[in-house]
């Protein structure tokens, strides 16, 4: 009886480590130029950058962050993205634009809204976009925009991943390294 | 060719805008659980969240909608405005006796906000005004809250280091409902940030409810009411016995002095120091609004007894502290909470009630991260509730109900044979947190086992006997341990 319970427990534990379906992955590493633009003077937290880096690395993409200053003060997405591509020779580019706005106090939490717009393209193709309004649930009043960004890093990654995968499909046709199936680490 | 042009135009349009949120957005909260209780309980481990909110609260859902009327451009000080509406309530289909009926829900908040209007860094709010300094997450308590009962206007100035909130409005409908009486309410709150590690705050609110000539819902008092008669609901009986044949001359209510309920709150927060993520300390002290009236029936006639003076001296003190610790990064976090409270009704020196008691509790929760998303949870709590006016709890299934000094007395104002209730709870289980590490990371899917021991008989919501007549039909048996399994989910969105 005890053994059965133990086995059941181990099974439950292992279920948290189920192998993930492999993401698209390049055979050879390639550079991904990334620019993160957050309006309203919010510092981008390291944890937010780290999660973006994780999801790129799992696809054999090496993140090269382009400082916002190199976007030449552009305010429109199309022009920011053009500036990003002009600032680097990386074959892949990803522009992350976000805002952080306080929503309300809900059941003991400070809820913020983080609208995020993702624009990505590989060299020689038109950019693809995704936009999402993510909720950030913070515990303390002193936590503001930067913490809100960190709070949404995980759900944001789930939006970035399919965008990157979409870019990688057909990369071989574009003369870039071909995607390959791999065991793939979790996102 | 034309369709290609249109498609290109659409794509270009989509690429023009920056990251702007939708005009309409929604946020909210939910908790749901399945807790079959084979000990006759109602699915909660103990009576209330003094023993920790975990397994002591029922289902709940809240949905808040926000409409941006005007959106300010990024990095601008343009005028902005929004409207918020929140619906919330404590019932979910198949999870509680309410079965999700909308009767259990209410439009608890509705307000409009506007910023950069007339004054820089000031947000104006018209409607419901609730504001709190923070949360005791282990208890689901927010002692330092102001304006949770007020409809009115507030202005909130926010800068990097100082926030100031002032508000004015009416709390009459919240406190009086259908028996509305205007309660002018004013107050405010100040929060000061001293660097990155310390915050201080304080605030309060004061209400004024005057007696209005001819308005039966404003403060009035029936004259010559003995407090014991009021407690026993025998005011009319006493009058008729003392004045036979003079029922029609039952004393008319007299205008009472104005009611002035108030609340003072304080807050101290500090943290970001080593393993200490943050510590919140809250205090709240206040006087409750007096009760209005009730109806007694005696010999086929109804008498309305007005009670403003009998119930105006009820005070509540509550202190709470919660400390969040990162003991082993990404492996072990802990949260420790303490709550102390004292409720006092200075007019009542006879009967033990929840208005005359002290309570103290401590809760410790530890969460072990086996993986990023799979966690183990352990929580323990110790609590003591002490009645200030004698016995209030029953120790055994066959304890007496009404009593005096623990001795059976059908006219006694005490209840049972205990004046102190001691409660111990332990909970443990597995947690799936899709969003990763954190004691308060949500959503959480939990499978928990909880056990409670109390010196009170059947110290949980139950269908056991609570009167002598019921006891004669269902005598029951001794129950001090309570075991419960809970499958539950909780999240904000």
> Which domain range does residue A28 map to?
24-99+115-133+157-168
Q: How far apart are CA B204 and CA B188, in angstroms?
A: 6
pLDDT confidence of residue B10: 41
3 state SS for B27-45: EEEEEEEECCCCCCECCCC
Q: Is the pLDDT of residue A184 over 50?
A: no
Q: Tell me: the pLDDT tens digits for B21-64?
A: 789 999 999 999 999 999 999 999 999 999 999 999 999 999 99
Q: How many CB pairs under 8 A join A and B?
A: 123
Q: State CA B261 to chain mean position distance.
A: 18
Give the position of tokens 């799992």: A58
CA distance B244 to B17: 84
Residue A143 domain flag:
no
Residue B43 structure tokens: 């699915």
Q: Is the pLDDT of residue B448 over 50?
A: yes
For residue A43, the distance in angstroms to the closest alpha carbon of chain B comes to 14
Q: In the structure, what pLDDT confidence band is assigned to residue B394 with cuts at 50, 70 and 90?
A: very high
pLDDT at res. B412: 93
The arithmetic mean of pLDDT across residues A105-116, rounded, is 94
On the question of a cis peptide bond just before residue B443, with omega within 30 degrees of 0, the verdict is yes
Confidence of residue B442 (pLDDT cuts 50, 70, 90): confident
Q: Predicted confidence band at A124 (pLDDT cuts at 50, 70, 90)?
A: confident
Residue B153 has pLDDT above 90, yes or no: yes
pLDDT band for A39, please (50, 70, 90 cuts). confident
- Does the residue A54 lie in any domain? yes
A5 pLDDT higher than 80: no
Tell whether the model's pLDDT for residue B279 goes beyond 70.
yes
Report, as an integer, the average pLDDT of B406-420: 93
Strands B24-34 and B60-70: antiparallel
Which residues in A have their CB inside 8 Å of a CB on B?
Answer: 12-13, 15-17, 39-41, 75-78, 81, 97-99, 101, 103-109, 111, 113, 115-117, 119, 126-127, 129, 131, 133, 135, 137, 139-142, 154-155
Residues of chain A positioned with their CB less than 8 A from the CB of B66: 103-104
Q: Do A99 and B134 touch (CB under 8 A)?
A: no
Cα–Cα distance measured from residue B415 to residue B394, given in angstroms and rounded to the nearest whole number: 7
pLDDT digits (tens, 9 = 90+) for A72-105: 888 899 999 999 999 999 999 999 999 999 999 9
Can you give the pLDDT at residue A170? Answer: 67
Measure CA of the first residue to CA of the last residue in chain B; give whole Å: 44
CATH of the domain at A34: 3.40.50
**Phi, psi (degrees; rounded to nearest 5) at A44:** -80, 120
Rg, Å, chain A Cα set: 19
Tell me the chain B residues in contact with residue A103 when contact means C-beta distances shorter than 8 Å: 25, 27, 64, 66
Strand partners for B41 = B462
Residue with the two structure tokens 């409660």: B423
Based on the structure, what is the number of domains in chain A? Answer: 1
Q: Can you tell me the mean pLDDT for B291-314?
A: 97
Each residue's pLDDT tens digit, B117-130: 999 899 999 999 99
Whether A4 maps to a domain, the answer reads no
Question: How high is the ipTM of this complex?
Answer: 0.88
Q: What percent of chain B has pLDDT over 90?
A: 86
Name which residue leads in pLDDT, A72 or B135: B135
What per-residue confidence (pLDDT) applies to A2? 46
- Nearest CA distance, B15 vs chain A (angstrom): 5
Task: Quote the mean pLDDT of chain A.
Answer: 84
CB-CB: which of B16, B370, B492 is closest to A78? B16
Residue whose C-alpha is closest to residue B377's, from B387, B388, B389, B365: B365
In a domain, A139, yes or no: no
pLDDT tens digit string along B81-99?
999 999 999 999 998 889 9
Tell whether A37 is covered by a domain.
yes
- The answer to whether position A145 is within a domain reads no
Residues 6+ apart with CB under 8 A from B241: none
Rounded to an integer, the average pLDDT of B152-162 is: 96
| Residue contact B18–A154, C-beta within 8 A | no
The DSSP call for residue B431 is E
Give me the pLDDT at residue B5, please.
39
pLDDT given for residue B476 in this prediction: 83
Segment B338-383, tens digit of pLDDT: 999 999 999 999 999 999 999 999 999 999 999 999 999 999 999 9
| In a domain? residue A45 | yes
Residue B135 confidence (pLDDT) above 70:
yes
Distance (Å) from the alpha carbon of B239 to chain A's nearest alpha carbon: 48
pLDDT at A181 over 80: no
| Mean pLDDT of the residues in chain B | 93
> What pLDDT digit, counting tens, does each position of B234-277 carry?
999 999 999 999 999 999 999 999 999 999 999 999 999 999 99
Residue A29 lies in a domain: yes
Residue B323 is predicted with a pLDDT of 98
Q: What is the pLDDT of residue B464?
A: 82
End-to-end, the C-alpha distance of chain A in Å comes to 37
Q: Angle at Cα B184 formed by Cα B179 and Cα B185, nearest 5°?
A: 115
pLDDT of B9 above 70: no
pLDDT for position A15: 52
Asked if the peptide bond before residue B14 counts as cis, ω within 30 degrees of 0, the response is no
Confidence label for A23 from pLDDT (cuts 50, 70 and 90): confident
């Amino acid at each position: 009886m005890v053994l059965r319970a133990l086995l059941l427990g181990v099974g439950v534990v292992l279920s948290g480590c189920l192998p993930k379906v492999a993401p698209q992955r390049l055979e050879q590493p390639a550079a991904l130029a990334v620019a993160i633009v957050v309006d309203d003077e919010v510092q981008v937290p390291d944890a937010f950058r780290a999660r973006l880096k994780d999801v790129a690395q799992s696809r054999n993409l090496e993140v090269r962050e382009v400082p916002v200053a190199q976007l030449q003060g552009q305010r429109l997405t199309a022009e920011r993205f053009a500036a990003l591509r002009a600032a680097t020779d990386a074959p892949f580019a990803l522009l992350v634009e976000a805002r952080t706005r306080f929503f309300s106090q809900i059941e003991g939490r400070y809820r913020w809204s983080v609208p995020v717009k993702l624009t990505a393209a590989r060299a020689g193709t038109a950019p693809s976009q995704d936009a999402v309004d993510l909720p950030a649930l913070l515990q303390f009043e002193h936590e503001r925009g930067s913490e809100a960004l960190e709070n949404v890093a995980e759900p944001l990654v789930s939006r970035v991943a399919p965008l990157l995968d979409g870019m990688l499909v057909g990369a071989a046709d574009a003369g870039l390294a071909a995607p390959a199936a791999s065991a793939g680490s979790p996102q | 060719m034309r369709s290609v042009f249109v498609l290109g135009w659409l794509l270009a349009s989509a690429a023009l805008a920056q990251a702007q949120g939708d005009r309409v957005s929604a946020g909210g909260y939910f908790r749901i659980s399945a807790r079959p209780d084979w000990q006759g309980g109602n699915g909660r481990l103990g009576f209330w969240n003094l023993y920790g909110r975990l397994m002591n609260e029922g289902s709940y859902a809240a949905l808040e909608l926000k409409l941006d009327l005007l959106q300010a451009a990024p990095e601008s000080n343009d005028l902005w405005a929004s409207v918020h509406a929140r619906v919330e309530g404590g019932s979910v289909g198949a999870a509680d006796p309410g079965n999700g009926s909308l009767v259990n829900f209410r439009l608890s908040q509705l307000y409009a906000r506007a910023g950069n209007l007339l004054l820089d860094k000031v947000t104006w709010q018209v409607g419901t005004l609730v504001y709190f300094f923070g949360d005791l997450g282990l208890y689901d308590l927010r002692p330092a809250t102001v304006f949770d009962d007020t409809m009115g206007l507030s202005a909130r100035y926010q800068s990097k280091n100082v926030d100031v909130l002032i508000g004015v409005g009416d709390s009459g409908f919240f406190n009086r409902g259908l028996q509305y009486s205007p309660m002018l309410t004013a107050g405010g709150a100040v929060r000061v940030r001293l660097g990155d590690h310390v915050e201080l705050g304080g605030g309060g609110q004061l209400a004024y409810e005057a007696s209005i000539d001819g308005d039966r819902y404003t403060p009035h008092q029936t004259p010559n009411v003995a407090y014991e008669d009021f407690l026993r609901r025998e005011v009319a009986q006493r009058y008729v016995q003392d004045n036979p044949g003079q029922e029609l001359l039952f004393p008319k209510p007299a205008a009472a002095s104005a009611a002035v309920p108030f609340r003072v709150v304080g807050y101290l927060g500090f943290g970001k120091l080593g393993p200490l993520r943050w510590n919140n300390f809250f205090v709240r002290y206040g006087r409750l609004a007096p009760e209005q009236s009730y109806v007694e029936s005696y010999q086929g006639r109804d008498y309305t007894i007005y009670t403003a003076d009998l119930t105006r001296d009820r005070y509540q003190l509550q202190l709470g502290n919660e400390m969040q610790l990162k003991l082993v990064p990404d492996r072990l976090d802990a949260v420790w909470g303490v709550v102390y409270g004292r409720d006092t009704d200075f007019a009542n020196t006879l009967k033990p009630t929840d208005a005359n008691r002290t309570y103290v509790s401590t809760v410790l929760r530890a969460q072990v991260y086996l993986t990023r998303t799979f966690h183990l949870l352990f929580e323990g709590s110790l609590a003591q509730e002490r009645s200030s006016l004698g016995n209030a709890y029953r120790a055994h299934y066959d304890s007496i109900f009404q009593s005096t000094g623990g001795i059976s007395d059908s006219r006694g104002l005490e209840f049972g044979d205990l004046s102190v209730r001691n409660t111990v709870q332990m909970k443990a289980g597995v947690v799936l947190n899709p969003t990763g590490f954190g004691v308060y990371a949500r959503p959480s899917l939990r499978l928990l086992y909880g056990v409670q021991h109390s010196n009170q008989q059947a110290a949980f919501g139950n269908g056991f006997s609570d009167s002598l007549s019921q006891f004669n039909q269902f005598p029951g048996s001794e129950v001090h341990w309570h075991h419960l399994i809970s499958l539950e989910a909780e999240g904000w969105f």
